């Protein structure tokens, strides 16, 4: 769709790749230039979470917390009381993994615009293993009243998302991945918190993707097209608030839905869309993601393969799903 | 400032606040008794003498900030704020009722002047540290102070010591912690549940200036806060030794009153004790 200005290299081997977290690093500096109230706090992972660029640009607005994630978010809550817009970063396994209650009470119930940046989320963290592969963060953050949940699809979108949440005045969670992944959007692709985007039109099934899995949905759609199935691909970078209008409109057209995420599907994007469709438009649904289990050590590509988180696997899932569906409706 | 009360008048005020606490808790039928009662002198000193605050303008941008970390003791803050003129004393009887601004544990967004939302223990000192950090390093304002009242049982929480390290590292001299050292927590006496001593040495080791005072002596409370503000090298903590349930003899020293309210008979008895206090308090209550 031309108005989305997507990369012309989608599906090609030479598509440019970059870790999503890099876009966050640039977006944070841009946000810091736009609003002098933006401050950054980190729990001893400054370079790894890409806060180093902000630290170099605005040293007086950077606060090192040390390995103390509970203190990370509560110091930030205090700073926000004096008009600051704090971004707090760590690995998602530790923040929001360890400090959920502090986020609930001092940020969400207290309604302070603190930003929780969870880096190294998902299975593609790789060799560090299950302890560091955060899969439950979407579910943890999504259930909190007042919290906004954003999962950018690539580094270019992460930059825009970071600038947007800096100015939204709300508690917000942004989820970042470690590995370099394809950049399928461009500078001119729109991004707005709370909007889902139809990246490819189709009429047989809707593939909903978030984060790194949206690109895999695009790959799946290309495979499916060659098999005669026209899949619509909807990118859902904001999981809360969910863009129910776009989601329902697509499913009304296709009648079938599949969700894909690098996270626990229970409570994740899969959970969110199942809830929406269950209440408003009961629709056959297939969920791709981690199904109630932990990851393990391995190369990112090996793990994505093992846990069926690739475009090829999504396409296989769609075939099975469509066959089942057709048998049922015969 | 909420006015220039004499020490004697503040002692009377603390007693009025204790009476209000008993009435509020009796009416609510749930809540914590011991902590609010033993903090009455400290809260009176803070609101009526120590802190720059304006009950008619709770968001005054030059005000001092008070963070109540152990949110379960909030009845003392509500009663003190009402007596200082933040809101009508009649509202106190809505404590814990449906639709009230006076939630069982304090919520900032419901009541002007309530600086933060608290209840789950251990996170107040970090928030106070974040505020003090901004006022010291980012938007420097040498005329504003951040006070943080903590319970002693609350010091079991790791988050407190994370904040203690952070404030010590950053030499947040504009931060004053006040520990309600009443030696009780829900399951028993603090030294039986999870010993805190040597408490003074612990805070000193974290880079804090430490004072120990009689938490029921209003003059000592005021003096200790003056001393804390005079220390420019490090954050200060005041270990205020208090008697849990202070002022109501059958509640004093008894940890069973930590998390329980008085019934109507007990409330009547408590109010009688508070009004006489061995002739120590004179004035309107006699």
How far is the C-alpha of A118 from the C-alpha of A51, rounded, in Å? 12
CATH number at residue A54: 3.40.50.970
The answer to whether the Cβ–Cβ distance between A60 and B117 falls below 8 Å is no
Task: Please report whether residue B218 resides in a domain.
Answer: yes
Give the pLDDT band of residue B2 (cuts 50, 70, 90).
Answer: very low
The answer to whether the Cβ–Cβ distance between A61 and B138 falls below 8 Å is yes
Task: Please report whether residue B285 resides in a domain.
Answer: no
- Phi, psi angles (nearest 5°) of residue B35: -60, -50
**A60 given a catalytic annotation:** no
A41: nearest CA in chain B? B130
A218 and A161 housed in the same domain: no
Contact A233, A224 (CB under 8 A): no
**DSSP sequence for B161-220:** HHHHHHHHHTT-TTEEEEEEE--EETTEEHHHHS---SHHHHHHHTT-EEEEEETT-HHH
Strand partners, A117: A89, A174
Closest partner CB to B117 (pick from A60, A79, A105)? A105
Task: Please report whether residue A56 resides in a domain.
Answer: yes
At residue B282, the pLDDT reads 55
Closest partner CB to A81 (pick from B118, B131, B158)? B131
The answer to whether the Cβ–Cβ distance between B130 and A74 falls below 8 Å is yes
Task: Please report whether residue A9 resides in a domain.
Answer: no
The answer to whether the Cβ–Cβ distance between B166 and A65 falls below 8 Å is yes
| Cis before B225 (ω within 30) | no
State pLDDT tens for residues A99-155: 999 999 999 999 999 999 999 999 999 999 999 999 999 999 999 999 999 999 999
State pLDDT tens for residues B190-234: 999 999 999 999 999 999 999 999 999 999 999 999 999 999 999
Closest CA to A299 of A128, A62, A66, A153: A128
The total number of structural domains that make up chain A: 2
Contact B172, B132 (CB under 8 A): yes
Selected for mutation to probe chain A from B120, B162, B175, B207 (highest A CB count within 10 Å) is: B162
Residues in A touching B139 (Cβ below 8 Å): 82-83
Q: Looking at A69, A216, A232, A261, which residue is catalytic?
A: A69
How far is the C-alpha of B118 from the C-alpha of B99, rounded, in Å? 18
The answer to whether the Cβ–Cβ distance between A109 and B107 falls below 8 Å is yes
State pLDDT tens for residues B145-176: 999 999 999 999 999 999 999 999 999 999 99
What is the extent of the structural domain holding B124?
A: 7-279
Contacts of A2 (CB under 8 A, 6+ apart): none
Which helix (DSSP H) or strand (DSSP E) does residue B237 occupy? strand B236-241
How far is the C-alpha of A145 from the C-alpha of A300, rounded, in Å? 33
What tokens were used for B219?
């003059």
The percent helix, strand, coil of chain A (3-state, each to 5) is: 40, 20, 40
Chain A touched by B140 (CB under 8 Å): no
Q: Interface of chain A against chain B, CB under 8 Å?
A: 39, 60-61, 63, 65-66, 68, 70-71, 74-84, 86, 101-102, 105-106, 109-111
Chain A touched by B154 (CB under 8 Å): no
Contacts of B53 (CB under 8 A, 6+ apart): B1, B2, B47, B60, B63, B64, B66, B84, B113
State pLDDT tens for residues A85-98: 999 999 999 999 99
A86: nearest CA in chain B? B130
Task: Please report whether residue B17 resides in a domain.
Answer: yes
Task: Please report whether residue A323 resides in a domain.
Answer: yes
A71 min Cα distance to partner chain B (Å): 6
Q: What number is the average pLDDT over the span A292-308?
A: 97
The total number of structural domains that make up chain B: 1
The residue among A182, A208, A226 that closes a domain is: A182
How far is the C-alpha of A31 from the C-alpha of B138, rounded, in Å? 17
Q: What is the ipTM of this complex?
A: 0.94
Give the pLDDT band of residue A330 (cuts 50, 70, 90).
Answer: low
CATH number at residue B235: 3.40.50.970
Strand, coil or helix: B3: coil
Give the pLDDT band of residue B1 (cuts 50, 70, 90).
Answer: very low
How far is the C-alpha of B270 from the C-alpha of B281, rounded, in Å? 15
Strand, coil or helix: A93: coil
A101 and A135 housed in the same domain: yes
A172 and A217 housed in the same domain: no
Selected for mutation to probe chain B from A60, A62, A64, A74 (highest B CB count within 10 Å) is: A74
What tokens were used for A116?
């929780």
State pLDDT tens for residues A201-259: 999 999 999 999 999 999 999 999 999 999 999 999 999 999 999 999 999 999 999 99
What tokens were used for B240?
């205020």
- Residue found by looking up tokens 């419901």 in the block: B110
Task: Please report whether residue A55 resides in a domain.
Answer: yes
Residues in A touching B159 (Cβ below 8 Å): 70-71, 74, 102
Give the pLDDT band of residue B4 (cuts 50, 70, 90).
Answer: confident
- pLDDT score of B284 more than 90: no
What is the extent of the structural domain holding A273?
A: 197-329
B63: nearest CA in chain A? A82
- Residue found by looking up tokens 């296709």 in the block: A254
Give the pLDDT band of residue B3 (cuts 50, 70, 90).
Answer: low
Task: Please report whether residue B85 resides in a domain.
Answer: yes
Chain A touched by B105 (CB under 8 Å): no
A54 and A161 housed in the same domain: yes
* Dihedral angle, C-alpha B257, B259, B263, B265, nearest 10 °: 10
Closest partner CB to B130 (pick from A68, A78, A111)? A78
CATH number at residue A226: 3.40.50.920
Task: Detail the DSSP E strand segments found in A93-220.
Answer: 115-119, 148-150, 172-175, 180-182, 197-200, 205-209
How far is the C-alpha of B94 from the C-alpha of B91, rounded, in Å? 6
State pLDDT tens for residues A56-93: 999 999 999 999 999 999 999 999 999 999 999 999 99
A21 and A158 housed in the same domain: yes
Task: Please report whether residue B1 resides in a domain.
Answer: no
B61: nearest CA in chain A? A82
Strand, coil or helix: A289: strand
At residue A161, the pLDDT reads 98
What tokens were used for A212?
């790194």
Strand, coil or helix: A46: coil
- pLDDT score of B28 more than 90: yes
Closest partner CB to B129 (pick from A75, A82, A109)? A75
Chain A touched by B120 (CB under 8 Å): yes
């Amino acid at each position: 769709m031309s108005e989305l200005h997507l990369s012309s290299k989608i599906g090609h081997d030479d598509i440019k790749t970059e870790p999503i977290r890099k876009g966050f690093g640039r977006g944070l500096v841009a946000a810091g230039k736009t609003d002098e109230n933006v401050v950054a706090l980190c729990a001893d992972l400054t370079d790894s979470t890409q806060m180093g660029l902000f630290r170099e640009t605005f040293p007086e607005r950077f606060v090192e917390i040390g390995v103390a994630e509970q203190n990370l978010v509560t110091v930030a809550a205090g700073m926000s009381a004096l008009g600051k817009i704090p971004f707090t970063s760590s690995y998602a396994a530790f923040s929001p993994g360890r400090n959920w209650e502090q986020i609930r009470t001092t940020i969400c119930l207290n309604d302070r615009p603190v930003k929780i940046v969870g880096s190294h989320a998902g299975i593609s963290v790789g060799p560090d293993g299950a302890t560091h592969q955060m899969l439950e963060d979407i579910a943890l953050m999504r259930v909190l009243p007042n919290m906004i949940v954003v999962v950018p699809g690539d580094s270019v979108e992460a930059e825009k998302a970071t600038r947007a949440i800096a100015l939204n005045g709300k508690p917000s969670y942004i989820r970042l991945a470690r590995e370099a992944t394809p950049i399928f959007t461009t500078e001119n692709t729109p991004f707005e918190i709370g909007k889902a985007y139809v990246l490819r039109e189709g009429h047989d099934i809707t593939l909903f993707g978030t984060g790194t899995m949206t690109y895999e949905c695009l790959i799946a759609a290309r495979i499916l097209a060659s098999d005669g199935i026209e899949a619509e691909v909807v990118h859902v970078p904001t999981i809360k608030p969910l863009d129910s209008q776009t989601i329902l409109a697509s499913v009304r057209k296709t009648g079938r839905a599949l969700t894909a995420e690098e996270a626990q599907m229970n409570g994740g994007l899969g959970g969110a869309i199942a809830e929406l469709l269950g209440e408003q438009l009961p629709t056959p649904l297939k969920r791709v993601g981690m199904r109630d289990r932990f990851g393990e050590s391995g190369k990112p590509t090996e793990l994505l393969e093992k846990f069926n988180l690739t475009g090829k696997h999504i396409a296989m899932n769609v075939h099975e799903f469509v066959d089942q569906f057709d048998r049922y409706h015969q | 400032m909420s006015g220039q009360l004499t020490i004697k008048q503040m002692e009377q005020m603390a007693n009025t606040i204790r009476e209000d606490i008993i009435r509020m808790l009796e009416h609510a039928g749930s809540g914590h008794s011991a902590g609010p009662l033993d903090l009455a002198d400290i809260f009176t000193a803070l609101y009526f003498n120590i802190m720059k605050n304006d009950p008619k303008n709770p968001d005054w941008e030059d005000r001092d900030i008070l963070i109540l970390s152990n949110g379960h003791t909030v009845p003392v803050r509500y009663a003190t704020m009402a007596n200082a003129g933040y809101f009508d004393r009649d509202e106190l009887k809505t404590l814990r009722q449906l639709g009230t601004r006076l939630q069982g544990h304090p919520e900032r967004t419901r009541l002007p002047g309530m600086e933060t939302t608290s209840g789950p223990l251990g996170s107040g000192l970090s928030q106070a540290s974040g505020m003090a950090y901004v006022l010291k390093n980012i938007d420097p304002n040498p005329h504003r102070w951040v006070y943080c009242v903590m319970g002693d049982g609350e010091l079991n929480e790791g988050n407190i010591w994370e904040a203690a390290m952070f404030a010590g590292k950053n030499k947040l001299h504009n931060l004053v912690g006040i520990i309600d050292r009443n030696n009780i927590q829900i399951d028993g006496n603090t030294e039986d549940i999870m010993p805190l001593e040597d408490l003074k040495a612990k805070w000193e080791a974290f880079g804090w200036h430490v004072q120990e005072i009689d938490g029921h002596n209003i003059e000592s409370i005021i003096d200790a806060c003056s001393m804390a503000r005079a220390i420019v090298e490090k954050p200060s903590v005041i270990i205020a030794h208090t008697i849990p349930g202070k002022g109501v003899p059958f509640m004093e020293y008894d940890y069973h009153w930590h998390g329980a309210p008085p019934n109507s008979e007990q409330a009547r008895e408590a109010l009688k004790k508070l009004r006489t206090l061995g002739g120590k308090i004179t004035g309107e209550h006699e």
